[in-house]
């Protein structure tokens, strides 16, 4: 049996705002984008060649709206690995993206925490051999 992670759902308030942030500011690429007549939209974005990606899904109802930006109770939502930490960090600063934890080093890695447009915490990591 072969099992892999496909998508991580991120609740959003607005598809276009989420698209602008993830694609235009973070540099994600659109893997799939289809709008249905009822207003639903299947918007999947990802990085590099990985099939694991984010499914940006509009919150529906009061309960889900309260969870936008808080899906993980303040813990990181996801970890992004990069081979160009400094370049990604410079882009975050250039795009005025909130840095939740300044760049730091640990044995074998450099990392920082940043927030998306809703306040979800992401960890950016570059592994150092």
Can you identify the CATH homologous superfamily of domain 7-127? 2,3-Dihydroxybiphenyl 1,2-Dioxygenase, domain 1 (3.10.180.10)
Residue 73 has phi, psi (to 5 degrees) of 65, 30
Q: What is 2-48 written as a DSSP string?
A: -----EEEEEES-HHHHHIIIIIIT--EEEEEEE-TTS-EEEEEE-T
SS3 call for 66: helix
Q: Which two tokens stand for residue 104?
A: 């730091």
What pTM, to 2 d.p., does this model score?
0.93
pLDDT digits (tens, 9 = 90+) for 15-72: 999 999 999 999 999 999 999 898 789 999 999 888 889 999 999 999 999 999 999 9
């Amino acid at each position: 049996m072969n099992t892999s992670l496909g998508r991580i759902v991120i609740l959003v308030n607005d598809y276009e705002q989420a698209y602008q942030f993830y694609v235009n500011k973070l540099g994600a690429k659109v893997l799939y984008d289809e709008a249905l007549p009822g207003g639903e939209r299947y918007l999947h974005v990802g990085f590099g060649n990985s099939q694991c990606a984010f499914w940006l899904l509009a919150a529906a109802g009061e309960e889900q709206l309260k969870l936008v930006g808080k899906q993980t109770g303040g813990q990181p939502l996801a970890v992004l690995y990069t081979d160009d930490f400094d370049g990604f960090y410079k882009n975050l600063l250039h795009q005025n993206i909130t840095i939740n934890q300044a760049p730091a080093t640990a044995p074998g890695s450099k990392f920082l925490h940043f927030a998306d447009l809703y306040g979800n915490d992401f960890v950016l990591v570059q592994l150092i051999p």
